[in-house]
Amino acid sequence: MRVLLFVPCLTDQFSPRAAEATVALLEHLGCQVDYPEQQTCCGQAHRNSGYEKTAAELVRRMATIFSGEDPVVTPSGSCAAMLRRHALEIIPDDDPAREEVTSLASRTREIIEFIDEDLKIAPDQLVPDTGNAPCDVAWHPSCHLREIDRFDASGRYLEGIPGLTLRRLDREEQCCGFGGTFAIKFGKISGALAEDRCQALERAGTSTLLCNDTGCAINIAGRLRGFSGGMV
């Protein structure tokens, strides 16, 4: 199966290895991965900050760049939610790009969702049993997974991977405080939310946290550097 890879801005700039790992995983599962080099931001940050005109321009651009019938896969619940749910909210029905944007929305998938629902690969078939040491991690599902109906499903999928012990955080439905520019505009609130997630990670008993959005990972990792619990 041919897939088009959409790499979010934050992943591209701060966690390129996550994008490389996404390619490696998809190829391991038999996919032909193409990366449209003209891709830019999906417009989420602009829409969330009230710049809907600019966001709409970026959405139209994305729809053109990712035109066709192939699935568009991204390692981000928030960007998937933007293209799936919110892109059509800012593109009028009579807009010439409406049809292309509708097509893009229908083909966009978050990486775990794609493996689970499109490729239909069971978690116990995802990786070979190599006898490697078990991996013990905590799981922070991003808020935006709710918008693509994967908030519970992705965690359940990960729990089924052999050798992976997935620890669920207390109140896992709570935001980490990132929220794009929210973390800048409301720094104290954001910091308090991130501190709470750090405390939940400490209670989970593992120092490794798995996130499905780079923004969440950046925010929590930044808070951990000054965390009162002393974790690194």
Domain-located, residue 111: yes
Domain-located, residue 35: yes
pLDDT of residue 232: 45
Domain enclosing residue 153, as ranges: 129-224
Q: What is the distance, to the nearest Å, from the Cα of residue 12 to the centroid of all Cα atoms in its chain?
A: 13
**51 & 101 share domain:** yes
pLDDT of residue 210: 93
CA 204 – CA 197 distance, rounded (Å): 10
**Cβ(206)–Cβ(138) below 8 Å:** yes
**113 & 26 share domain:** yes
For residue 97, give both structure tokens: 């790009």
Domain-located, residue 207: yes
Number of domains in the chain: 2
CA 107 – CA 125 distance, rounded (Å): 24
Q: In 3-state terms, what secondary structure has residue 72?
A: strand
**102 & 147 share domain:** no
CA 135 – CA 139 distance, rounded (Å): 12
Residue at a domain's end among 62, 95, 118: 118
pTM: 0.91
CA 200 – CA 169 distance, rounded (Å): 6
pLDDT of residue 183: 87
Chain length of the chain: 232
* pLDDT string in tens for the chain (232-residue length): 999 999 999 999 999 999 999 999 999 999 999 999 999 999 999 999 999 999 999 999 999 999 999 999 999 999 999 999 999 999 999 999 999 999 999 999 999 999 999 999 999 988 766 556 578 999 999 999 999 999 999 999 999 998 899 999 999 999 999 988 888 889 999 999 999 999 999 999 988 899 999 999 999 998 888 765 544 4
CA 230 – CA 142 distance, rounded (Å): 24
**101 & 136 share domain:** no
Domain-located, residue 149: yes
pLDDT of residue 225: 83
**67 & 157 share domain:** no
Domain-located, residue 232: no
Domain-located, residue 123: no
Residue at a domain's end among 118, 139, 159: 118
Domain-located, residue 159: yes
**149 & 81 share domain:** no
**Cβ(104)–Cβ(63) below 8 Å:** yes
